[in-house]
Amino acid sequence: MKLQELLDKIENELKLRYYSRKTIKSYRLCLSDYFRYIKNITKEPDISLVKKYLLEKQGRGQSSQTVNLHLNAIKYLYREIFKSGTEINIKFAKTSNKLPVVLSQREIEEIIGSISNLKHKILISLSYGAGLRVSEATNLKINDVDLSELTIHIKGAKGNKDRITIFPEKIKNDVTNLIADRPGNDFLFASERGGKLTERSAQKVFENALKKEGIKKEATFHSLRHSFATHLLENGVDVRYVQELLGHQNIRTTQLYTKVTNPSLKMIKSPLDS
């Protein structure tokens, strides 16, 4: 089988298993790179070669998340495509314990206040107010938003899971005006060129607002979701409800935010202030 045919077969298998577009693209890129490295493709893995490949990536300073992504793609290839019985018993790279970048509520207000385009203002407000990933915001259809119940139905999110999250009442009137006389299957955030607003366009809106307000934190669009979770915990919402709203499978992922918002730590005075 030619390399292109093999990559197409892998992509089709991933589609049949309802993997996300992002994962499919990532796996394809990872395996293209892996095939170039090993040169001779066989149906059984050469474990020492796989280890060498991953170690070289690590040696070039690639992140633990990137190394793990390549390992997952390789495991999928031999297990699901080549039906190999050889277990690739390689431990995952230790992932970083970096704390998420969180914006204060005042910084969020400044970012939203700096945006003059109403659609873009609603995009950032809703992404923060509902804890949305950028892909979830751009894929929202008008029908997914229930203004009477103040809920949003997120469909096919990470891991191809649906969930219900909250809708901020503060922007109800603005969203009502945005969707007036538009069919329910329209994208909530439509592009001027037709179709939906791209993820890159959404990220650019956030980046421009951040720069305009002179906020120096290394924040990204995803920081809106981090801030949503942190502010809910600060307001006393139980971590299990926050987990549900974010759609986290493992509560340990959600508990990371408790490290950012630990009230007991904030009560301790520095010895310099004594």
Question: Which DSSP string corresponds to 206-268?
Answer: HHHHHHHTT--S---THHHHHHHHHHHHHTT--HHHHHHHHT-SSHHHHHHHHHHS-HHHHHP
Is position 268 within any domain? no
Contact in structure between 81 and 13 (CB atoms under 8 Å):
yes
Confidence (pLDDT) at 95: 66
Structure tokens at 37: 């490295």
Active site residue 248: yes
- Of 144, 124, 113, 100, the residue nearest 233 (C-alpha): 100
Residue tagged active-site, from 70, 133, 196, 231: 133
What distance in Å separates the CA atoms of residue 248 and residue 100, rounded to the nearest whole number? 15
- The residues with which 146 forms a beta bridge, in sequence order, are 151
Task: Please give the span between the terminal C-alpha atoms of the chain, in angstroms, as a whole number.
Answer: 73
Contact in structure between 126 and 132 (CB atoms under 8 Å):
yes
**125 and 20 in a common domain:** no
Is position 93 within any domain? no
Helix 222-234 vs helix 118-130: crossing angle, to nearest 10: 50
Alpha helices in the chain (DSSP H): 3-16, 21-38, 47-59, 64-76, 105-113, 118-130, 134-139, 172-179, 199-212, 222-234, 239-246, 251-260, 263-267
Confidence (pLDDT) at 21: 84
**237 and 172 in a common domain:** yes
Residue tagged active-site, from 119, 158, 163, 172: 158
Instruction: Among 81, 113, 136, give the residue marking a domain's end.
Output: 81
**192 and 132 in a common domain:** yes
**65 and 26 in a common domain:** yes
**210 and 123 in a common domain:** yes
Q: What is the pLDDT of residues 34-90, one digit of tens each?
A: 999 999 999 999 999 999 999 999 888 888 889 999 999 999 999 999 999 999 998
Residue tagged active-site, from 121, 226, 231, 248: 248
Active site residue 133: yes
What distance in Å separates the CA atoms of residue 187 and residue 102, rounded to the nearest whole number? 28
Confidence (pLDDT) at 154: 95
Q: To which residue do tokens 């956030």 refer?
A: 206
**114 and 68 in a common domain:** no
Q: To which residue do tokens 């919402």 refer?
A: 237
**204 and 114 in a common domain:** yes
Distances (CA, A) of 96 to 35, 239, 246, 250, 251: 27, 22, 20, 17, 17
Is position 236 within any domain? yes
Contact in structure between 254 and 243 (CB atoms under 8 Å):
yes
User: What's the domain count of the chain?
Assistant: 2
Confidence (pLDDT) at 273: 81
The whole domain housing 33 covers 3-81
Residue tagged active-site, from 121, 225, 226, 231: 225
Confidence (pLDDT) at 99: 86
Confidence (pLDDT) at 163: 94
What distance in Å separates the CA atoms of residue 18 and residue 47, rounded to the nearest whole number? 28
**111 and 144 in a common domain:** yes
- Spell out the residues 6+ positions from residue 72 whose beta carbon is closer than 8 angstroms to its own: 27
Is position 66 within any domain? yes
Residue tagged active-site, from 257, 259, 266, 269: 257
pLDDT in tens, the chain (274 residues): 788 999 999 999 999 888 888 899 999 999 999 999 999 999 999 999 999 999 999 888 888 889 999 999 999 999 999 999 999 998 876 666 678 999 999 999 999 999 999 999 999 999 999 999 999 999 999 999 999 999 999 998 776 789 999 999 999 999 999 999 999 999 999 998 889 999 999 999 999 999 999 999 999 999 999 999 999 999 999 999 999 999 998 898 898 888 888 767 777 777 778 6
In the chain, how long is the greatest CA-to-CA distance? 73
Is position 178 within any domain? yes
- The residues with which 141 forms a beta bridge, in sequence order, are 187
**109 and 77 in a common domain:** no
What distance in Å separates the CA atoms of residue 187 and residue 138, rounded to the nearest whole number? 8
**177 and 140 in a common domain:** yes
Confidence (pLDDT) at 180: 95
**242 and 202 in a common domain:** yes
**172 and 258 in a common domain:** yes
What distance in Å separates the CA atoms of residue 142 and residue 59, rounded to the nearest whole number? 47
Is position 90 within any domain? no
Is position 42 within any domain? yes
